[in-house]
């Protein structure tokens, strides 16, 4: 349920309503828009039976949210959310580009790729330090040393760092090194991890699960928001279907669907979405044309020797071309991409 306040409601009216709700033991989340304030109410609403909230000063109307998620819904917050990381915003007019290797392999590898993607205009460097691989025998990542190399690359290039966390008890450690934590597809429903990232308040890229519906995915975001962390960027990375030509089926329609039902920004990862480097650029263009707020792209200077996801990694030269094309496409869909980051 949400309480939509009147545009003329005063701070005192808002405080009166929130106090009343809190006294009844209900959770309160406030969304202050340009004109109206909306109060999200979480908990057992039957307790409100004898409290005519609609009669309280400043209350415009009460709206019951039918969806299983509340705080992530457009009803709770009609304006799109813009997530700020350092001096970059995600979800506004400017697109966001996150690029880098699938896995941090060595200092030399990471710095080479970081310098290249920075030169092409990326704002964020990605790189996995913990790699939850399908096979336990595949490269599992450099762990904390990988985070340290990412922090070193930030020092040198100024790129903001995005890297995956795979367990609730390593979130605090990850935040010593990274600007944005990534929750991977395999952990989308690791509820302990979602809650911990929620409590940390840090910006988070939440990937769609391997076979998750859009509703399950938004509910995963709701777990994080319920703990008070609204800094969530959804990332469509393809889902499992019967098609085997591509590694996953990139659900481009999820972009406008998410925009309709949620205020959270959404980016697209065409690397994992297709599994083939030659499909990355066309699907990146499709994602931005569909309204995505940004991209996550795997880049490797020597894809055939990459320790993970080489077949879907594009070279720095191809990444440069992709960014140029995205910056030309952006104004056509009322966005912008400034190449001089
Ligand atoms: C990754 O970004 O390297 C990754 C493992 O992605 P996903 O969780 O989408 O498979
Ligand atoms: Mn990968």
Of all protein residues, the one whose alpha carbon is nearest to atom 10 of ligand 1 is 185
Mean pLDDT of the chain: 96
pTM for the full predicted model: 0.94
Of all protein residues, the one whose alpha carbon is nearest to atom 1 of ligand 1 is 102
Ligand 1 cavity residues, CB under 6 Å? 102, 128, 184-186, 207, 237, 272
- Token digits of residue 64: 């019951």
Pocket test for ligand 1, best of 178, 237, 313 (most atoms within 8 A of CB): 237
CA separation for the pair 1, 45 (Å, rounded): 8
Give residue 223 CA to ligand 2 midpoint distance, Å.
25
Which residues, 6+ apart, have CB-to-CB distance to 72 below 8 Å? 218, 219, 221, 222, 225, 232, 262, 263, 264
Of all protein residues, the one whose alpha carbon is nearest to atom 6 of ligand 1 is 184
Per-residue pLDDT tens over the stretch 147-180: 999 999 999 999 999 999 999 999 999 999 999 9
Per-residue pLDDT tens over the stretch 94-143: 999 999 999 999 999 999 999 999 999 999 999 999 998 889 999 999 99
| Ligand with smallest separation from the Cα of 134 | 1
**N-terminal to C-terminal alpha carbon distance within the chain:** 42
| Structural domain boundaries in the chain | 2-63, 83-333
- Token digits of residue 118: 């920075």
Q: What is the mean pLDDT of residues 59-77?
A: 92
Q: Which atom of ligand 1 is nearest to the CA of 126?
A: 2
Pocket test for ligand 1, best of 99, 103, 104, 185 (most atoms within 8 A of CB): 185
Fold for the domain defined by 2-63: Alpha-Beta Plaits (3.30.70)
* Closest residue by Cα to residue 273 from 299, 240, 302: 240
Answer for the pair 151, 163: CB distance below 8 angstroms, yes or no.
Answer: no
| Ligand with smallest separation from the Cα of 237 | 1
* Closest residue by Cα to residue 204 from 184, 189, 226: 184
Q: What is the mean pLDDT of residues 27-52?
A: 89
Q: Please say whether the structural domain 83-333 has been given the CATH code 3.20.20.70.
A: yes
Give residue 206 CA to ligand 2 midpoint distance, Å.
15
β-partners of residue 268 are 236, 295
């Amino acid at each position: 349920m949400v309480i939509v306040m009147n545009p003329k409601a005063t701070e005192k009216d808002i405080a009166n309503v929130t106090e009343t709700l809190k006294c009844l033991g209900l959770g309160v989340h406030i969304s202050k828009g340009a004109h109206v304030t909306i109060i999200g109410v979480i908990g057992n609403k039957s307790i409100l039976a004898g409290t005519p909230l609609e009669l309280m000063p400043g209350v415009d109307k009460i709206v019951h949210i039918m969806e299983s998620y509340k705080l992530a819904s457009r009803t709770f917050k009609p304006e799109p959310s813009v997530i700020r990381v350092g001096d970059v915003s995600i979800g506004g007019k400017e697109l966001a580009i996150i690029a880098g290797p699938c896995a941090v392999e060595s200092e030399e590898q990471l710095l080479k790729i970081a310098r290249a993607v920075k030169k092409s205009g990326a704002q964020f460097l990605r790189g996995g330090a913990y790699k939850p691989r399908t096979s336990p025998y595949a490269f599992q990542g450099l762990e904390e040393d990988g985070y340290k190399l990412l922090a070193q690359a930030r020092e040198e290039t100024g790129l903001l760092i995005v890297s995956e966390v795979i367990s609730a008890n390593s979130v605090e450690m990850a935040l010593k090194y990274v600007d944005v934590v990534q929750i991977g597809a395999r952990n989308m429903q690791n509820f302990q991890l979602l809650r911990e990232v929620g409590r940390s308040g840090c910006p988070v890229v939440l990937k769609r699960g391997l076979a998750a519906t859009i509703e399950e995915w938004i509910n995963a975001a709701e777990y994080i928001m319920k703990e008070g962390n609204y800094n969530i960027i959804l990332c469509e990375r393809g889902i499992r279907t019967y098609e085997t030509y591509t590694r996953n089926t990139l659900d481009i329609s999820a972009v406008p669907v998410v925009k309709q039902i949620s205020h959270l920004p959404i980016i697209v990862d065409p690397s994992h979405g297709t599994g083939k480097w030659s499909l990355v650029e066309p699907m990146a263009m499709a994602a931005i044309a569909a309204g995505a707020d940004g991209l996550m792209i795997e880049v490797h200077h020597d894809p055939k020797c990459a320790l993970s996801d080489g077949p879907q990694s594009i070279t720095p030269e191809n990444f440069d071309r992709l960014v140029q094309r995205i910056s030309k496409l952006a104004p056509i869909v009322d966005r912008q991409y400034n190449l001089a980051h």
